[in-house]
Amino acid sequence: MTEVKIQGQQTILSDKSHTGKIRPWREKKIGNQLLAMAYEDVNPRKAARLRECACYLIFRKLVDGMKLQEMNSCRVRLCPMCAWRRSLKIYSHVRRIMDGMETERSYRYIFLTLTVRTCQGADLQNTIDGMMSAWQRLVRLMSVRRAVKGWYRGLEITHDTEPLISGKRYRTNPKYYKSMGLNVGDANPNYDLYHPHFHCVLAVNSRYFKTDEYITHEKWVELWRKSMRLDYDPVADVRRVSGNTAKDVAEVAKYAVKDGDYIVPDDWDLTVETVRLLDRVLENRRLVAYGGKFKEWHKRLNLDDEMDGDLIHVEDEEEADAKEKPEIVTYVWNVGYNQYLRANE
């Protein structure tokens, strides 16, 4: 491993996963600091907690690479550092649950995304409350209970922070903008609107697609519409998991809110107001939930809670090297350099 040093003195953190991916510690800590600044106006106590988050990292050296042994986690819902660790944890949990279930019998998996229309910030709380109740109604419906043997449900909220229609945005859906007589450079009609939606993994019997348990896309739209008590057809996306399960699971185990959707350095007022709103809306909310076989295996595997549990051991454990005295390395966040620097050398 090549070490990069500052002024020939301290080593800069370089932590790679076994697949060679650089773990984004620095990027997440920078996001965490911006969020702490926004929280100064929203909730100074949370701002202080955020500043303490991952301010030092203690790793154990492995034959190849390093493994996190200790860090402080603030667990503020919006913290980019904690959200990243949490998404890794959810990913690893969902995969382990699915592996466990497969030892019992063979299942097929479906990815289901359930949405409602975009809403104003003022309506976000109510909209999410409505979705949570609707989900409970949905999974109790006879046809769903018959088809779905287990489920994982994650909440994601996207927030549109672009005041104007960019060329890139226009090209993703020209028909939509044309239908409203809008062009590149015009005011974005969805600016500052929120889009809460559920990402779900459903386990079904291996013969599901060939039986009358099968729920078509149209039927999902109808069931969700009924459960949500809507007067319009909501958008639902149903996909069968075919090949790359790992990639698909990573898709659903995403962040509740991407930091780019609330940290908008060009518009600090928007940042603070968005943080204020999301902080309130996400407080004490179950962002991820499990049901049926997923819930059963979550318990059986003794997995801890993704929201309140430990955010250190979040990746699949590979305890290959049982060295007597592992070498410990500590990195400390340096505000001036905006880098993690090695402490004990």
Choose one: 39-47, 69-77, 170-178, 296-304; the region binding Zn ion (CB under 5 A): 69-77
Tell me which stretch binds Zn ion (CB under 5 A): 78-86, 175-183, 185-193, 277-285.
78-86
For residue 284, the minimal CB distance to Zn ion (Å) is: 17
- φ, ψ for residue 39 (rounded to 5)? -70, -15
Span near Zn ion by CB under 5 A; candidates 68-76, 137-145, 201-209, 316-324: 68-76
Closer residue to Zn ion, CB minimum distance, 29 or 195? 29
Among 47, 55, 81, 281, binds Zn ion (CB under 5 A): 81
Least Å from the CB of residue 47 to Zn ion: 12
Nearest distance in Å: CB 3, Zn ion: 27
241 versus 275: smaller Cβ distance to Zn ion: 275
- Total number of residues binding Zn ion (CB under 5 A)? 5
* Residue whose CB is less far from Zn ion, 53 or 68: 53
User: How far is the C-alpha of 169 from the C-alpha of 165, rounded, in Å?
Assistant: 6
Instruction: Check binding of 282 to Zn ion (CB under 5 A).
Output: no
List all residues 6 or more positions away from 213 whose beta carbon is below 8 Å from its beta carbon: 143, 146, 147, 204, 205
> From the CB of 261, what's the least distance to Zn ion, in Å?
17
Rank residues 73 and 127 by Cβ distance to Zn ion and give the closer one. Answer: 73
The one among 13, 34, 36, 53 contacting Zn ion by CB under 5 A: 53
Return the number of the residue (79 or 287) whose C-beta is nearest Zn ion: 79
Query: Is residue 82 at the binding interface for Zn ion, with CB under 5 A as the rule?
Result: yes
Distance from C-alpha of 188 to C-alpha of 102, rounded to nearest angstrom = 46
Is 74 among the residues that bind Zn ion (CB under 5 A)?
A: yes
Q: What are phi and psi of 4, to 5 degrees?
A: -105, 130
* Residue 79 binds Zn ion, judged by CB under 5 A: yes
Residues 142-201 that bind Zn ion (CB under 5 A): none
* Closer of 124 and 311 to Zn ion (Cβ): 311
Question: Cα(160)–Cα(260) distance, rounded to whole angstroms?
Answer: 10
d(CA 7, CA 164): 43
Q: Is 88 in the site for Zn ion (CB under 5 A)?
A: no
Count of Cβ atoms closer than 10 Å to residue 319 Cβ = 7
Nearest Cα neighbor of 298 from 46, 19, 98, 42 is 98
Residue 45 DSSP symbol: H
| DSSP-derived secondary structure for 8-58 | TTEEBP--B-TTSPBP-HHHHHHHHHHHHHHHHHH-HHHHHHHHHTTSEEE
Going from the C-alpha of 185 to that of each of 158, 159, 161, 208, the distances in angstroms are 22, 19, 14, 48
Q: How many Cα atoms occupy the beta-carbon half-sphere of 248 within 13 Å? A: 17
- Per CB under 5 A, residues contacting Zn ion are 53, 74, 79, 81-82
